[in-house]
Each structure stands twice: as C-alpha cells, then as structure tokens.
Amino acid sequence: MNIDLTNTTASKINKALIEGRRAIGTPAVGMVLTLVIVTDEENAYDALKAASEASREHPSRTLVVIKRVSRSPRDRTSSRLDAEVRVGADAGTGETVVLRLYGEVVNHAQSVVLPLLLPDAPVVVWWPVNPPLDPANDPLGALAQRRVTDTYAAEQPVKELSARAEAYTPGDTDLSWTRITPWRSMLAAALDQVTCEVTSVEVEGEEFNPSCELLAMWLADRLDVPVRRSASSGPGLTAVRMGTSCGSIVLDRADGSLATLSIEGQPDRAVALQRRDTAELIAEELRRLDPDDTYASALRYGVERLAGPSSESAEGEDVPSSAAEPTVTAEAPAKAEAPAKGPAKKTTSKAPAKKAAAK
C-alpha cells in the first residue's frame, strides 16, 4: 500500500502510517529498529532495495532522506517536504517512508526525521554515498547508536580510510569492513589448526579496494608482523599468503566465488567465499548495535604503515613525511624474516641518529 503526500509535515506522515497499518490489518508496530538512509536520488532505489531485503531478518521502519538541490534562488528560500509512505508487501516486513526535502529544510533534516523515529528502539543511520567527514557529529548521525558508511564508494578510498580513522567514534562502522568478515573467519580458523609463528603476510587484491587495506591492517595489528600489500586485477580480494615457521598458509580466491585454502603438510581444500551483495552486508551490520572495537583497532593501525602499492598511493595523496617513516619500520623486519617486535625497536632507536646526521 502506497500513500503519496505532497507539501506535508511529520504529523501527517505519522497519521498516514497508522492508517496504512489499519488498512492492511496490522495495527500493532512490530519493528525492532529505525533505519535512516541518507542518499541522493540516483542511489535511492538500490539502497532501498537492499534495506527491504534486509528487513526480512530485521523488521524495521526505514526512513529514506533525499536532499533535493534547488536550482533557482527563489526555490532555495522556500521549504517543502514530500513523502511517500509504503506499508505492507511494498515495504518488505516493515514500513518505509521516502522523504524528499526541498529548500531550507534540507539543512534541518534531523527535525523532520526525529518525530518519525520508533519510540524506545535503536536507530541506525546509513550513508550509501557521500558520507559526512565526521558521522558522529552530523545532525542525523547524532540521533543514531550505529553509523554505517562505505569507503568503497569514495573517489579516493585509501585517503578516506585515513579520514575515517581520525574522526572515529564508537558506533562507527564501514561496509568495506563487513565485506571481509568471511576472510577474517577463515584465516583465524586456519591459524587455529597450526602451532607456528607467523613471520610475514601478503594481501593481494584490487589496487583501490579499501577492503584489502582493512584486511591488511587487521592482520598487521593482530599478528604484529610485517604485512605487504600487492595489487591484482581482482575481483576484490584475491589472495592472502602467510609465511610461518612451519610452512606457508595461502587462501587464494581467483574467481570471486570459490577459494582454495592451502596449509603446509595438509591437503588443499575448497572454501566458499562468494562476494556478497549490499543486502547481506546491511543485514550483518544490523545484527550488532554495540561498538566494534576490532574495526577501530584495525582502522587506527594506519594505511601508511603497510608496505607495497598502498603506501605508494598514500604518498601520492599528500601524506605528511612523518607518516611515511613507519613504512621503513614495516619493511625492515621482512628482510630479516623475524618477528616484528624485536627489529621494530632497533629501527626506532636508529631513527634519531639519522635525523641528527641530516641536520
């Protein structure tokens, strides 16, 4: 059931939601959360489709906020709110309200969204494209317990990761991190099968894929070993190679669906690692509403500390010279084929001597 409202208000939208539920015979509210999608007209259809599919697992009230750009100065001074209310089969297992904001009300979207939030229910805000620099301090992001962005949609994904690390607030997350959940699970399971010391890691994938960078930073942060980032033609992540004291461990996925896990002394085994669509990613993020400390730790590790094409790309994006120094620290232990903790301290102690000689 669809109800179109032109030049409306939040109270009229709430009244339309109640009338719609009564018309389809479900007067009770059975939603568990409110999902706010902030997007543009171009990406609204795909985002709403993904949210509708995810609502089968998480019944929710979905509010789609579309900020329309006014072309003439006269239109910018006036305010208008158009809404489309969807209840029943057209909205999945929840309710959907598409809000189109015009004029001055674009700068006050939170005042429109706030009366439409479900009472005593968590709020999740998702920016499919063009997220704010600091999601937690955004007027809409401040209403939410969980804020979801996607650095894969950014023009400079590697630089965007650095910006996300600087502005991180507990509750922030990224779909690029969600995409590597099966990889992290499989690599952790592979390391549980051996009693060896990991000495080096190589992550291979598309050059400008932030999921590859996040997986490399997670491995470097957790294993405390040098991690090298290498580029491939994709799709997405293609391989992770770990050098250990008792042989190599390789997780290789060349076709984007089926991977091969190779452990020294064991037969190769096929692993299902199919690339997931946006609906599955959003459904996974809605399963947990608490802060993701593992994501925060990996994000703060820093892209510039990885060795390989990612560090070179970061240097080309005006990274300060002080941020490039840890790259030498990451590469030095790799040549010695030793754990990162010992050589890292030696390299750090030599750094002041080099600066003094330069002076």
Question: In this predicted structure, what is the pLDDT of residue 29?
Answer: 63
In a domain, 337, yes or no: no
In a domain, 56, yes or no: yes
Report yes or no: 82 and 5 within 8 Å, Cβ to Cβ. Answer: yes
Report d(CA 191, CA 193) in Å as an integer: 5
Cα 347 from chain centroid? 34
**Joined tokens for residue 251:** 């997780």
Indicate whether 134 and 227 sit together in one domain.
no
Question: In this predicted structure, what is the pLDDT of residue 329?
Answer: 35
Indicate whether 61 and 128 sit together in one domain.
yes
The boundaries of the domain holding residue 181 are: 177-276
Question: In this predicted structure, what is the pLDDT of residue 327?
Answer: 35
In a domain, 52, yes or no: yes
Report yes or no: 95 and 61 within 8 Å, Cβ to Cβ. Answer: yes
Indicate whether 220 and 138 sit together in one domain.
no
Q: In this structure, what are the phi and psi dihedrals at residue 333, rounded to the nearest 5 degrees?
A: -65, -25
**What's the mean per-residue pLDDT of the chain?**
82
Q: Give the residue from 243, 276, 309 where a domain finishes.
A: 276
Is the pLDDT reported for residue 259 higher than 80? yes
In a domain, 325, yes or no: no
Average pLDDT over residues 295-323: 62
Indicate whether 16 and 141 sit together in one domain.
yes
Report d(CA 319, CA 312) in Å as an integer: 10
Indicate whether 36 and 141 sit together in one domain.
yes
- As a dihedral over the C-alpha atoms of residue 177, residue 182, residue 183, residue 186, rounded to 10 degrees, the angle is 150
Indicate whether 108 and 189 sit together in one domain.
no
Q: Give the residue from 256, 276, 296 where a domain finishes.
A: 276
Question: In this predicted structure, what is the pLDDT of residue 93?
Answer: 74
Indicate whether 123 and 250 sit together in one domain.
no
Q: In this structure, what are the phi and psi dihedrals at residue 211, rounded to the nearest 5 degrees?
A: -65, -35
Query: Amino acid identity, residue 283?
Result: A
In a domain, 31, yes or no: yes
- Answering whether pTM is above 0.75, one says yes
In a domain, 344, yes or no: no
Is the pLDDT reported for residue 285 higher than 50? yes
Report yes or no: 206 and 212 within 8 Å, Cβ to Cβ. Answer: yes
Indicate whether 260 and 222 sit together in one domain.
yes
Report d(CA 42, CA 67) in Å as an integer: 11
In a domain, 252, yes or no: yes
Question: In this predicted structure, what is the pLDDT of residue 95?
Answer: 87
Q: Give the residue from 149, 166, 188 where a domain finishes.
A: 149
Question: In this predicted structure, what is the pLDDT of residue 312?
Answer: 43
Is the pLDDT reported for residue 257 higher than 90? no
Report d(CA 310, CA 304) in Å as an integer: 7
Is the pLDDT reported for residue 332 higher than 50? no
Q: In this structure, what are the phi and psi dihedrals at residue 235, rounded to the nearest 5 degrees?
A: -80, 135
In a domain, 264, yes or no: yes
pLDDT digits (tens, 9 = 90+) for 75-99: 666 788 999 998 876 666 778 999 9
Q: Which residues partner with 249 through β-bridges?
A: 242, 263
Q: In this structure, what are the phi and psi dihedrals at residue 138, rounded to the nearest 5 degrees?
A: -70, 145
Please state the domain count of the chain: 2
Average pLDDT over residues 52-62: 89
Report yes or no: 253 and 259 within 8 Å, Cβ to Cβ. Answer: yes
β-pairing, 258-263 with 269-272? antiparallel
Which segment of 88-102, 210-224, 305-319 scores lowest on mean pLDDT?
A: 305-319
Percent of the chain with pLDDT over 90: 47
Of the pLDDT bands very low, low, confident and very high (cuts 50, 70, 90), residue 335 is very low
Residue predicted with more confidence, 340 or 20: 20
Average pLDDT over residues 192-199: 88
Indicate whether 85 and 140 sit together in one domain.
yes
**Joined tokens for residue 93:** 């297992």
Which segment of 26-35, 126-135, 142-151, 172-181 scores lowest on mean pLDDT?
A: 26-35
Indicate whether 24 and 127 sit together in one domain.
yes
pLDDT digits (tens, 9 = 90+) for 60-74: 899 999 988 766 666
Interhelix angle 293-301/157-166, nearest 10 degrees:
120
Q: In this structure, what are the phi and psi dihedrals at residue 342, rounded to the nearest 5 degrees?
A: -65, -60
